[in-house]
Amino acid sequence: MLIAGADGAVNARAAGAMMEPTMAVECTRCRQENPETARFCSRCHTPLRFTCPACGQAQSHGGTCDACGVDFLKYGLVHLGRMQVEAARERAREQHRHELFRQLALVPLTGGLSLFKYLRNRLRDR
């Protein structure tokens, strides 16, 4: 009797949780309530979930990211160009790094050479 009652309560609670999702997502366009897990509005198919292309933050509205403030549309527009710029910049950085290493590697060489010249000049002057 007691056990049956407890079971009933649990079942009712489980059914209730199934009936109404913990967090309904309201469509920004038509105000239709959709389950939290829905990616698109069941009525007008407006996307309900937006994932920030910059930081991966998932949120129920577009526009700007709640986490990092990135403008989704702007980011989307510049993203392709930025990828190319990033790639070019990365290449340049790589070249610069190589150049830097080359210069660093040459320092003892040129330094030694100038030191040698300096010493030779001093010897010649004497």
Site string for Zn ion, 17-46 (x = CB under 5 A): ----------x-xx-x--------x-xx-x
Looking at 25, 48, 50, 52, which residue binds Zn ion (CB under 5 A)? 52
- The stretch near Zn ion (CB under 5 A) out of 1-9, 12-20, 49-57, 105-113 is 49-57
Q: Can you say whether residue 58 is alpha, beta or left, with left for phi > 0 and alpha for psi between -120 and 50 degrees?
A: beta
Among 68, 73, 85, 100, binds Zn ion (CB under 5 A): 68
The alpha carbon dihedral of 95, 97, 101, 107 has a sign of positive
Tell me how many residues contact Zn ion (CB under 5 A): 16
What is the Cα–Cα distance from 52 to 49, expressed in whole angstroms?
Answer: 10
Contacts 24+ apart (CB under 8 A), 28-34: 28/60, 28/61, 28/62
DSSP strand pairing (58-59 vs 50-51): antiparallel
Is residue 54 close enough to count as binding Zn ion by CB under 5 A?
A: yes
Give contact residues for Zn ion (rule: CB under 5 A): 27, 29-30, 32, 41, 43-44, 46, 52, 54-55, 57, 65, 67-68, 70
